[in-house]
């Protein structure tokens, strides 16, 4: 590396792993990257991880990234963490976890979500304040579950954090979050841009247990503490940004921001499937999370629990490679192996129907792809409506979708999305968009520049353009009919 080159580190602490990228501040070129896995435990709706393991994984990933880059640690000027949203981290007075963190895809708090919805006066009351309805993934429902099922752990809480808050505090010694990640808690109101006292009272949360909310994810919140600098092998003066949630960071990494709905809404195919777009209009629609963005705007988002992981599970059950698929024919497979979030079916299980004597294993796998892609794309239609757009309008349907996440690299995933949506795609060249977005936030904290503009100048959202395929309306209607008929049963 050149002696005068300045680099920043962006960290993506996700459900399954921590990834760190070392990025040149001027060009956005990824000089190196590292990865360290996480362990997720639990059954029957439980999903938990030890936050201390996240901190260890962060150190391993940063070290691997620096080694891969051949970087002199003294060139590192800033660092930011983007973390999996919604997770509940409960700490004691020494800053140590009281218990494993409850992760976003832990569905045990579905009864608490329903009770909280009614306690405030119904879904509309929540939408009016937070932009989102209570579902099992949200932090406040998990806190309520903890109060009811493990009151000793709740009583022992000296601090309550989100995953990225926990790691940022370890880096800078400062208890801070950002509007984007805070907007997924249900005790932060997007109408006021702060914690809502009535909502805090409703769930028995003392505001003193929560971190301060920085103005944006690029806000400089301090520098590495001596202990963190030593643990990571970085200069003690390295700037720490507030960071944000993983979806907000992905939007930054893609250079999404500004006025109105963007030309390229995002479909992300990962462990979960998400759809989001940047907006300056505050959304408040059923089934869509009206999150804040990391740059001061809004990030309406729909999320499905079952995406690539569910399809891979079906492939394993059938003894097939994930690529050994073909269109499902008459078969419909709703791969709701972990319940579902959008649509809100927390207790659902997978459903297979329409098989015949001539149905092949490859078609069954294809039906799993179709069920997962359909669920994500129907969430996209709801998001567009929440932003005042008609999903069927030609000027909307002609806009390319940005396809991201691990699934975006798979040919059958790409073809299934194109076939069911009838829309063109842009597949960004960069695959670590969450970490890259975190790096842009770190660069913003160092330079004072707008991180979205920085990422756009880096060209992070550019990629391969794929033309649309003729829309398979028959397959869409078949899956939609099965879901609509089955939904009352899946709710039970």
Cβ–Cβ < 8 Å for 38, 16: yes
Where b means 16+ CB within 10 Å and e means fewer, 191-220 reads eeeebbeebbebbebeeebbbebbebbbbb
Query: How many other C-beta atoms can be found within 10 angstroms of the C-beta atom of residue 166?
Result: 26
Q: Does the annotation flag 164 for ligand binding?
A: no
Structure tokens at 46: 């439980």
CA proximity to 307, closest of 276, 352, 330, 341: 341
Helices (H) and strands (E) in the chain, counts: 17, 24
Q: What's the CA gap between 368 and 485, in Å, rounded?
A: 18
Q: What's the CA gap between 73 and 271, in Å, rounded?
A: 33
Place of tokens 């497979």: 333
Q: Does the annotation flag 85 for ligand binding?
A: yes
What's the burial of 77, exposed, middle or buried (CB within 10 Å: 0-12/13-18/19+)?
Answer: buried
Q: Which of 165, 246, 344, 415 is catalytic?
A: 246
Q: What's the CA gap between 353 and 343, in Å, rounded?
A: 19
Largest CA distance in the chain: 67
Q: What's the CA gap between 189 and 203, in Å, rounded?
A: 14
CA distance to 91, 159, 195, per residue, from 216 (Å): 24, 22, 15
- Told to judge if 263 belongs to the known catalytic residues of this protein, a careful annotator would answer no
Q: Which residue ranges are tagged as binding site?
A: 85-86
Which positions are annotated as active-site residues? 246
As annotated, the binding site for substrate includes 85-86
């Amino acid at each position: 590396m050149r002696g005068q080159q300045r680099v920043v580190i962006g960290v993506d602490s996700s459900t399954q792993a921590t990834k760190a990228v070392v990025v040149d501040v001027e060009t956005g070129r990824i000089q190196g990257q590292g990865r360290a896995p996480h362990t997720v435990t639990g059954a029957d709706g439980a999903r938990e991880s030890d936050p201390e393991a996240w901190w260890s994984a962060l150190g391993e990933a940063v070290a691997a990234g620096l080694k891969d880059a051949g970087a002199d640690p003294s060139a590192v000027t800033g660092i930011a963490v983007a973390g999996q949203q919604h997770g509940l981290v409960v700490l004691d007075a020494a800053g140590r976890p009281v218990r494993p963190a409850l992760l976003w895809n832990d569905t045990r708090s579905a009864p608490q979500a329903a009770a909280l919805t009614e306690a405030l006066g119904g879904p509309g009351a929540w939408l009016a304040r937070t932009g989102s309805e209570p579902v099992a993934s949200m932090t406040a429902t998990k806190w309520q579950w903890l109060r009811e099922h493990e009151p000793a752990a709740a009583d022992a809480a000296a601090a309550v954090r989100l995953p990225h808050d926990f790691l940022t505090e370890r880096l800078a010694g400062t208890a801070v979050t950002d509007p984007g990640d805070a907007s997924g808690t249900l005790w932060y109101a997007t109408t006021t841009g702060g914690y809502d006292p009535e909502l805090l009272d409703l769930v028995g949360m003392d505001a003193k247990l929560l971190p301060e909310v920085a103005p944006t994810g690029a806000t400089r919140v301090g520098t590495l503490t001596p202990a963190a600098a030593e643990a990571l092998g970085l200069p003690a003066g390295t700037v720490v940004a507030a960071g944000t949630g993983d979806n907000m960071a992905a939007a930054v990494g893609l250079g999404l921001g500004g006025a109105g709905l963007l030309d390229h809404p995002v479909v992300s195919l990962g462990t979960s499937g998400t759809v989001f777009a940047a907006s300056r209009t505050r959304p408040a629609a059923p089934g869509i999370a009206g999150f804040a963005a990391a740059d001061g705007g809004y990030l309406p988002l729909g999320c499905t629990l079952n995406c690539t992981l569910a399809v891979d599970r079906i492939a394993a059950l059938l003894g097939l490679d994930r690529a050994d698929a073909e269109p499902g024919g008459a078969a419909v497979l709703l791969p709701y192996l972990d319940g579902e979030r959008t649509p809100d079916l927390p207790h659902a299980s997978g459903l297979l129907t329409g098989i015949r004597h001539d149905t092949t294993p490859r078609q069954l796998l294809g039906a799993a792809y179709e069920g997962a892609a359909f669920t994500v794309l129907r969430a996209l239609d709801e998001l567009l409506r929440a932003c005042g757009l008609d999903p069927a309008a030609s000027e909307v349907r002609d806009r390319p979708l940005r396809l991201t996440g691990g699934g975006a690299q798979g040919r059958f995933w790409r073809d299934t999305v194109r076939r069911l949506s009838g829309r063109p795609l842009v597949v960004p060249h960069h695959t670590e968009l969450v970490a890259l977005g975190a790096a842009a936030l770190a660069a913003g904290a160092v330079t004072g520049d707008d991180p979205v503009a920085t990422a756009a100048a880096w060209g992070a959202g550019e990629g391969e353009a794929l033309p649309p395929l003729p829309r398979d309306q028959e397959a869409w209607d078949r899956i939609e009919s099965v879901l609509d008929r089955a939904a009352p049963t899946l709710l039970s």
